[in-house]
Structure 1
Amino acid sequence: MNEERVVELLLYLLPAIVTGLIALYFFRGHTKNEEGRRRFLIHKEAQKNALPLRLQAYERMALFLERIAPAKLLLRVSPPNSDKEEYEQLLVRHIENEFDHNLAQQIYISDECWNIINAAKNATIQLIRKSNRNEEVDSADKLRETILSDLLERPAPSSAALSYIKQEVGELW
């Protein structure tokens, strides 16, 4: 008779245990879902606050690329005298100062975009230095002419980086 009572007790407890396990399973699923929802809402709010900062960073880097485009740089920075070496250093210094002024923007843009911008800056400096090493260049004005004629043959390094920025900003929408 004792065995019968134990079996009877187990038969009564079995549905309660199964119901408790099912309730525990659904409660854990619900808790996990709520936690995910909360994380999503926090992330969404952070994105909403960060988007203006990111757009501003892309704007500043686009302005940087426009300012270091050789054609615009040569119009803005005129040679102080006819010394080509001094003019080369002046142009490079302007590019480096512009870049240093915008260094903090890298935290708001992707690493790939930052690397492309950095490569465009370095390629522009190399273009200036390569033009200065040309044997036909004997003055600052001749250096300007040589740089501009090089740009007629190929696009400025900053134009490719600017296109990449536009593409990346387009993906934000």
Structure 2
Amino acid sequence: MLLFAEQQGLLEVIKYTVPTIVTGMIAYYFFRLHTKNEDGRRRFLLKKDLQVNALPQRLQAYERMTLFLERIVPSKLLIRVKPNGEDKLAYEALLVNNIETEFEHNLAQQIYMTNECWGVINSAKNATIRLIRTTNMSAKVENADKLREAILSEMLDKQAPSATALSFIKEEISDIW
């Protein structure tokens, strides 16, 4: 009879312990799920606030780089930057220096752009500089005015290197919206 009483007591303990353990496990699971959801919600709200604040800066960076790309279009660059004399090497250096100075002025904009976009802009700048330098190496180019003519005639047949970068920027901006 004593054995039967011990089994009854053990059965009573199990009868109260098992539901308590199951209830505790369910409460722990839901508490953990709730905490995870709250963390996700807080992160989402924080990210949303950051995007609201950063979006105008990102758009301004794209605007500034668009302006840079427009300014280095060879036909516009040649109109804006006139030669100081007849020396074609000095004029080449002046054009390249103008492009590099303007690019360096906008270097900070890269933090608001994707790496791919910044790479395309950098490639357009380098291609424009390469166009100026290779045109200057031509035997037909004798002075600064001939260099201007040669670059302009070179651009009649093809698109400016910055046009590709401008298209890329427009595509990236459309993805933001």
- TM-score of the superposition, structure 2-length normalised? 0.96
- Distance (Å, rounded) in 2 between the aligned partners of 1:34 and 1:134: 67
The number of aligned residues is 173
- Distance (Å, rounded) in 1 between the aligned partners of 2:96 and 2:30: 65
1:123 aligns with 2:127: yes
Give the structure with higher Rg (CA).
Answer: 2
- How far is 1:8 from its partner? 1.6
Q: 1:9 aligns with which of 7, 13, 31?
A: 13
Tell me the amino acid that sits aligned with residue 146 of structure 2. K
Partner secondary structure for residue 139 of structure 2: coil
Q: Deviations over 1:82-104 (max 9, x none)?
A: 11111101000100000010011
- Distance (Å, rounded) in 1 between the aligned partners of 2:13 and 2:109: 70
Q: Deviations over 1:49-76 (max 9, x none)?
A: 0000000000000000011110000000
1:22 aligns with 2:26: yes
**2:140 matched residue in structure 1:** 136
5+ residue gaps, structure 2, are: none
CA-based RMSD: 0.7
- Distance (Å, rounded) in 1 between the aligned partners of 2:20 and 2:144: 92
Percent of aligned pairs with the same residue? 61
Runs of at least 4 residues off by over 3 Å: none
- Counterparts in 2 of 1:21-170, with a 5 A limit? 21-170=25-174
- TM-score of the superposition, structure 1-length normalised? 0.98
5+ residue gaps, structure 1, are: none
